[in-house]
Amino acid sequence: MSKPSEEAPFAYDGLDRVIHEKARLGILTSLIAHPKGLAFADLKQLCGLTDGNLSRHLQVLEEAHLVEITKTFESKRPMTTCRLTASGRRRFLEYIEVLERVVRNAVDLNEAPNTPMSRLRPRTA
């Protein structure tokens, strides 16, 4: 995964745009909490999304191979289940590491401004 560059310490290249979108962050957090998957209706409720918005974001996540979606029937009613893929879980956790670095940089630099960039606490401290 990308490490902070000496030249551009705040480029944050590791913030994958597919994951970084606010609604998709909520979806991925919900799914990491439920390794066996979540029904569309539960996911919608946890993330406070409309049917249309959730469908649109799930499609983006599925195309990026972060999420897999299965459609089954339960008592003759269609049922959509969403689950993180193995690589989706890994990529989401890598993203979260970069996000942790963003938080740490902002907190540290707010408390001690004008810190030389070379003194910034490393990513995995």
Q: Which of 49, 41, 45 is nearest to 82 (CA)?
A: 41
Sign of the torsion formed by the C-alpha atoms of 75, 78, 79 and 84: positive
CB nearer to a second copy: give 73 or 120: 120
**To the nearest whole angstrom, how small is the minimum distance from the Cβ of residue 34 to a second copy?**
6
Site for a second copy, rule CB under 8 A: 5, 7-13, 15, 17, 20, 22, 25-30, 32-35, 45-49, 89, 92-93, 96, 99-100, 102-103, 105-107, 109-110, 113-115, 117
Q: What are phi and psi of 67, to 5 degrees?
A: -135, 145
CB nearer to a second copy: give 78 or 122: 122
**To the nearest whole angstrom, how small is the minimum distance from the Cβ of residue 76 to a second copy?**
28
Strand order in the sheet with 77-84: 38-39, 77-84, 67-74
**To the nearest whole angstrom, how small is the minimum distance from the Cβ of residue 73 to a second copy?**
25
Whether 112 and 100 have beta carbons less than 8 Å apart is answered as no
